[in-house]
Amino acid sequence: MATAVQVGSYSSRFITFQPASVSHWSWYGFDGRVEWCACFVSWCANECGYIESGVIPKFAGCANGVQWFKDRGQWQDSSFEPSAGHIIFFDWECDGEVDHVGIVEKCENGIVYTVEGNSGDACRQKQYAVGSSVIYGYGIPAY
């Protein structure tokens, strides 16, 4: 089984998928295009053996992923300083509704580096300040 760092590294290999990756939503079981950020996170987790082992859920909706981690006491709010392999959830409108999800690649000097599917309809590496207003919180898998 992969380590937390390997999940972050594994996901970063897919930043060149252009345009939207049909493989992520079709792997999940959808016949047509869907918002696929959660499908990407689930796919990466599956490739590392974490869905089968129950470490990360298979989820297509961001709210379902949040609830899974909260139900297990594996949740941290946006002020938390994450590590590689943590699952980062976003609230773009700051309205209390989770909108997007990605995987933490690393956190250095107050900056969270992520890999995200369905970011501009592609896989991209991005970065945010720790505690940014758009960060909803973090799922903390029990690796």
Q: DSSP labels for 53-114? A: TTSS---SSHHHHHHHHHHTT-EEETTS---TTPEEEE-TTSSS---EEEEEEEEETTEEEE
Residue 5: pLDDT band by 50, 70, 90 thresholds? very low
pLDDT for the residue 123? 87
For residues 127-135, give the mean pLDDT. Answer: 98
DSSP, res 132: -
pLDDT for the residue 94? 97
pLDDT for the residue 11? 55
Question: What is the chain's mean pLDDT, rounded?
Answer: 87
Listed residue (73, 62, 67, 68) closest to 40, CA to CA: 62
Residue 41: pLDDT band by 50, 70, 90 thresholds? very high
- The structure's pTM equals 0.89
pLDDT for the residue 22? 59
Which is higher by pLDDT, 49 or 129?
A: 129
**Inter-CA distances, 128 with 68, 112, 132, Å:** 24, 5, 6
Q: Which residues contact 136 (CB under 8 A, 6 or more apart)?
A: 66, 78, 89, 90, 91, 98, 99
pLDDT for the residue 26? 85
pLDDT for the residue 6? 52
Residue 23: pLDDT band by 50, 70, 90 thresholds? confident
Give the whole-number percent of the chain exceeding pLDDT 70. 85
pLDDT for the residue 122? 85
Residue 3: pLDDT band by 50, 70, 90 thresholds? very low
